[in-house]
Structure 1
Amino acid sequence: MDITQIKRLIGKLDQLECGDMVLNDFLLTWEKSDQEVNATFLVADILRGLRERNISSRLFDSGLGISLFRDQSTRTRFSFASACNLLGLEVQDLDEGKSQVAHGETVRETATMVSFMADVIGIRDDLYIGKGNAYMREVAEAVHAGYLDGVLEQRPTLINLQCDIDHPTQTMADMLHLIHHFGGVENLKGKKLAMTWAYSPSYGKPLSVPQGVIGLMTRFGMDVVLAHPEGYEMMQEVEAVAKKNAAEGGGRFSKTNSMAEAFNGAHIAYPKSWAPFSAMEERTALYEEGDVDGIQTLEKELLAQNADFKDWECTESLMSTTHQASALYMHCLPADITGVSCKNGEVQASVFERYRASVYMQAGYKPYIIAAMILLSKVKHPADVLDGMLSAAKPRACLINPSKAR
């Protein structure tokens, strides 16, 4: 990206109303306005352009980004760390096993104690239905109260790094990938996206990615089709959001129990396994009761249920039925690749390998999306701040010219 292109993006950002994002958290994409969502995409692209030009984008001279991961993570964990570092923040992981949480410390106390010099808190809490997003809001309320009481010098903003409802950093990165792949957000109108369930040899994958996809992509005039076997339903509230977004955005949201129907004529294929909403509710209740035997029984039942749908796999045959037999394959990773990471999985090995570089690029937008969310929560006039970074042109690193290095 050259300087002229970066300036053009800054000019577009300057036309958007996004000042209400300051001191506000990013918990669900559908809580943000269209202009705020578009501002996030623009800031992410501007930050990426600055880094490509070796221009520093340090917003902070000091400060902490606190991360709390209650589930395993590779991409999101490192994306959050990269985003914080890009803006000049250090990262400290909150390990609840090494904190006073185990000794009964309250959420309010923990949130306040880790936030004395923190500017952002990123949380992944996606394991239990009805718990993750609620916990994030409790943390947000605690730090806001601490700020109003004068206990905290600044109000750390909270970024949802995946909860039981939505995965905004993932789906926003997915959307930015689509914008670049199709040459602009205006070119997405009318494009068919197949968000389909796919077989996995594991049972407990969260619903937040497919829910996040239908909750976000329906805002852009796309034809979003949700496909899954009977019994793999997701949250009705999120489906209601998708229907509302489609109606307002001039697109379409539909459901089917046929993977083939969803793939037929699709411009984008997003096959991804998830656990049934009812099963996730049952699992949450069993964990609350400490019913180990019940959990083991449920796991066996769900694995057996999954095994009935091994034919729900993204194959070369299915991809040949998509638009011009060349739909864009997408995945949030890690994918269950048949014959590679498992015996039977979500996607045929040849399909994944053909799109491997594209899927990696899809993941590569996430650090910039997270950095954009942080920046927009801190500055009232982001276009002025970014233009200042561009004008200062402070080198991010002293790089050796590769052509002269021997």
Structure 2
Amino acid sequence: MLLPQTHNHAQPNFLNTADLKQEEISALIDLALDIKQGKVKKSLAGKTLATLFFNPSVRTRVSFATAMFKLGGQAIEISSNNVWSFEYQDDVVMDGSTIEHVKEVAPVLSRYCDGLAIRCSELVTKSAQSASSGSWEESKQDIVLNSFAKYATVPVINMESNVYHPCQGLGDALTMKEHFGETRGKKYVHTWAYHPKALPMATTNSQMLAACDLGMDVVIAHPQGWELDPEILAVAQKRAIQSGGSFAISNDQDEAIEGADIVCAKSWGALPYYGNWEAEKEARSNLQHWIVNEEKMARTRDGKFMHCLPVRRNVEVTQGVLDSTSSIVIDEAENRMWAQMALLATLLA
């Protein structure tokens, strides 16, 4: 299976699951299930993946390193704290704070390594305060990820950008396939949840696309004012129809959750306030009732609860739900590794 080429380069990249045909996604899921069931071949012996982290990470960092090890290769982590400050703008006089241009960084790393994986999302921070960033239209350009994809000569993997988190989407798809077998006709509800900080939309975008590609009846639930990007919503709806599923949006969380087979919670920032936390903070201050609790899960059809992690207990979801047998968040996190093993075996072998 050959993943799609981007930026007119010969190598395939993995930047967004919507770049793949749905049968290619199914093939990756099937391969991941085979690998998880013990059909592991160390197909990447002697291969090296450079993982560049511009944001904090737990699951992504460890799952990629472990995946490469299990396949016989190695991952070399590069933290933004330990490298030069990179420049991404073209035709710039570099007499300021940036020291090295991506035009040199990407091709040099490409000669050392067999693949590059990039994590760069402007709103991801360890601080108690929300990060500031440019507008959504500016952030949507994903200049860091797309610059590496443009100038690298080996496959580039998106480990989370401003717009997409395709590895999370792939791991979620594997989890739902594993739990249900046949996913067509299952009701998937992706609900906004209250959070004390503004968060990126990347994970939500990719989780939503994953459910659409599985032929599920997808419902996106959020308060008014927290609409997702209309272009991405249009792609999701199209792919849901292509896979035999459906797609709907609701501003009523209780109504949306009724009869659900999966409830997946995730907070995201509001487009009108993107990067402007002070304005958004006031807008979300009265939305703390957007939480997944036992009463809401009781409305489901013996539904399962999913969350990408990290999760704020008793803020986004109650501990009663997280600690119940309905919660499959640990399975979901584990499956990131198996899904990424399938991806790496396909891209780098």
| Aligned-residue offset at 1:132 | 6.6
| Aligned-residue offset at 1:99 | 2.4
Unaligned runs of 5+ in 2: 6-10, 87-97, 123-132
Q: Which position in structure 1 is the counterpart of 2:34?
A: 46
Q: Within the alignment, does 1:306 sit opposite 2:294 as a pair?
A: no
| Aligned-residue offset at 1:299 | 2.5
> Aligned equivalents of 1:252 and 1:176: distance in 2?
20
Q: Within the alignment, does 1:211 sit opposite 2:215 as a pair?
A: no
Q: Which position in structure 2 is the counterpart of 1:332?
A: 308
| Aligned-residue offset at 1:221 | 2.1
The letter for the 2-side match of 1:140 is: A
Unaligned runs of 5+ in 1: 1-17, 145-155, 284-297, 339-344, 380-406
Quick one: which of 175, 178, 181 aligns to 1:177? Answer: 175
* TM-score under structure 1 length normalisation: 0.74
**Is contact 1:176-1:365 (8 Å) kept?**
yes
The letter for the 1-side match of 2:336 is: K
Bigger Rg, which one: 1
Q: Which position in structure 2 is the counterpart of 1:278?
A: 272
> Aligned equivalents of 1:86 and 1:331: distance in 2?
25
**Is contact 1:329-1:355 (8 Å) kept?**
no
Matching of residues 152-301 of structure 1 within 5 Å: 156-182=154-180, 184=181, 187-201=182-196, 203-280=197-274, 283=275, 298-301=276-279
The letter for the 2-side match of 1:221 is: G
> Aligned equivalents of 2:260 and 2:27: distance in 1?
28
SS of equivalent to 2:328:
helix
The letter for the 1-side match of 2:206 is: G
Q: Percent identity?
A: 28
* TM-score under structure 2 length normalisation: 0.86
> Aligned equivalents of 1:372 and 1:378: distance in 2?
10
**Is contact 2:3-2:20 (8 Å) kept?**
no
Q: Which position in structure 2 is the counterpart of 1:136?
A: 145
**Is contact 2:304-2:326 (8 Å) kept?**
no
Q: Which position in structure 2 is the counterpart of 1:126?
A: 121
SS of equivalent to 1:226:
strand
**Is contact 2:115-2:348 (8 Å) kept?**
no
Q: Which position in structure 1 is the counterpart of 2:105?
A: 110
Q: Deviations over 1:290-311 (max 9, x none)?
A: xxxxxxxx43332232221111
Q: Aligned-residue CA RMSD in angstroms?
A: 1.9
Moved over 6 A (4+): none
> Aligned equivalents of 2:284 and 2:3: distance in 1?
44
> Aligned equivalents of 1:126 and 1:355: distance in 2?
32
Q: Which position in structure 2 is the counterpart of 1:149?
A: none
Q: Within the alignment, does 1:378 sit opposite 2:329 as a pair?
A: no
> Aligned equivalents of 1:62 and 1:223: distance in 2?
43
Q: Which position in structure 1 is the counterpart of 2:333?
A: 363
The letter for the 2-side match of 1:162 is: E
Q: Which position in structure 2 is the counterpart of 1:19?
A: 2
SS of equivalent to 1:116:
helix
Give the structure with the larger helix fraction.
1
The letter for the 1-side match of 2:226 is: Y
SS of equivalent to 1:366:
helix
Change (3 A) 1:356 1:266: closer
Q: Which position in structure 2 is the counterpart of 1:32?
A: 20
Q: Deviations over 1:217-268 (max 9, x none)?
A: 1122211000101111111111001111122222111111110111011111
Change (3 A) 1:108 1:356: farther
SS of equivalent to 2:33:
helix
> Aligned equivalents of 1:312 and 1:360: distance in 2?
23
| Aligned-residue offset at 1:63 | 3.2
Change (3 A) 1:142 1:60: same
Change (3 A) 1:313 1:378: same
The letter for the 2-side match of 1:271 is: A
Q: Deviations over 1:294-353 (max 9, x none)?
A: xxxx43332232221111111111111111xx2110010111111xxxxxx011111111
SS of equivalent to 2:218:
strand
| Aligned-residue offset at 1:19 | 3.4
> Aligned equivalents of 1:309 and 1:328: distance in 2?
23
